[in-house]
Amino acid sequence: MSLDFALSDEQQALGEAIATMTKRFAGRREEFIQMILKEHRFPEELWQALCEVGLLGCLVPEEYGGNGMGLLAMAMGLEQLARRGLGNALLVLGAMDACCIVRCGNEEQKRRLLPRLASGEDKYCFAVTEPNAGSNTFRIETLARKEGATYRLSGEKTFITGADVADRMLLVARTTSAAECEAQGLPKAFGLSLFIVDTKARGIDLKPIPTHGIEGMIQYTVHLDGVEVAQEDLIGEPDQGAMALFNSLNPERILAAASALGMTDYLLERSCEYARGRVLFGQKPIAAYQAIQHPLARIKAQSEAVRLVTYKAAWAFDQGHHPGQVGPFANMAKYLAAEMAVDACDRAIQTHGGYGFSEEYGIIYLWTTARLLRTAPISQEMVLNFIGEHVLELPRSY
């Protein structure tokens, strides 16, 4: 009987590749971190380097220009970046889009879209949330009306991360309205369709939403006023987009957990480094006090456990397990990772004392980023609902 936790040579090499890549920017690390967390911009040089390494190609098969290393590799890569304080939400969004296109796109679409997505030449964001449809995607109202060989999209999307820097967005719209579905007795999951939309298309208007917590990106409200989308840019069958959409939510949660893991490592490292050097009473550094040390040790122990669940979830996805089987682990990983990241940031602030709030030390910027993970990409409550209903088989609670 064996259960092997050893990293493969390629997984180790992946870690070293990210280390080598980030080392190239070691002198500018602080500048980059400030840019990402304070200015909500992502350094283009770093993006190009990530593309060169090929992190975006993990979920794209080799025949379509990716490297096909899978979600576990991507999660490890993202974790490595985050543990150096370098987070990027666009990587996660691009990964979701890649999932949808790989699973549901036709051959022509895969050949046309995936190589440029995998190489990072085209940046992709993801547009599903609407003012009246957050956790309940079925309530989206953005409508896509067929007119000959094109669709015309109208509606409003909100909290769309990186819509300004993205070249394209994967947008979820209704091709059959909720009212029509109800009238025809169709299930509420019917009528959702996925479109690839050019972010610079006519009829699109972006309005920034001043928010905190998103790393390296700004969120936008996207107004769509009769935006023309060619039929070739409908991914999958019309009205049947729900399944593809839900399949891509597992990777999103897993990658969010991986980011939280890396962030936790980063915060622990910063905390230990500060505590070792800070002497307040006598000769001992504050690191020698149990009140400082124990919470950090507890988070370290927690992080090893969260890492196992996160990797297991990614592994299950890569094995091609049914989304319903990946879901429990993806949700559990996200839940545990978010709680841990908040805890880690809280302890990092506490360890740093007053400096925990100083812009110079920068820990305080991560507070909103860590806290965001309890709300997005899915709220902790919705995760618990999922586990209650689908894992424990309790009655649906909402």
Binding site for another protein (CB under 8 A): 9-10, 12-14, 16-17, 19-21, 23-24, 26, 49, 52-55, 57-58, 62, 67-69, 73, 77
Tell me how far, at minimum, the Cβ of 54 lies from another protein, in Å: 4
Tell me how far, at minimum, the Cβ of 230 lies from another protein, in Å: 31
Smallest CA-to-CA distance from 217 within 58, 94, 77 is with 94
3-class DSSP assignment, residue 177: coil
- Residue 292: in which H helix or E strand, if any? helix 290-318
Choice between 73 and 217, CB closer to another protein:
73
Tell me how far, at minimum, the Cβ of 13 lies from another protein, in Å: 5
Choice between 54 and 236, CB closer to another protein:
54
Tell me how far, at minimum, the Cβ of 330 lies from another protein, in Å: 22
Tell me how far, at minimum, the Cβ of 94 lies from another protein, in Å: 14
Could you write out the DSSP letters of every residue in 122-161? S-EEEE--BTTBSS-GGG---EEEEETTEEEEEEEEEEEE
3-class DSSP assignment, residue 26: helix
Choice between 12 and 319, CB closer to another protein:
12
Tell me how far, at minimum, the Cβ of 101 lies from another protein, in Å: 19
Q: How far apart are CA 284 and CA 104, in angstroms?
A: 60
Smallest CA-to-CA distance from 317 within 397, 253, 230 is with 253
Choice between 52 and 182, CB closer to another protein:
52
Query: In 212-229, which positions are buried (b, 16+ CB within 10 angstroms) versus exposed (e)?
Result: ebbbbbbbbbbbbeebeb
Choice between 200 and 276, CB closer to another protein:
276
Tell me how far, at minimum, the Cβ of 266 lies from another protein, in Å: 13
Query: In 334-350, which positions are buried (b, 16+ CB within 10 angstroms) versus exposed (e)?
Result: bbbbbbbbbbbbbbbbe
Q: How far apart are CA 206 and CA 224, in angstroms?
A: 9
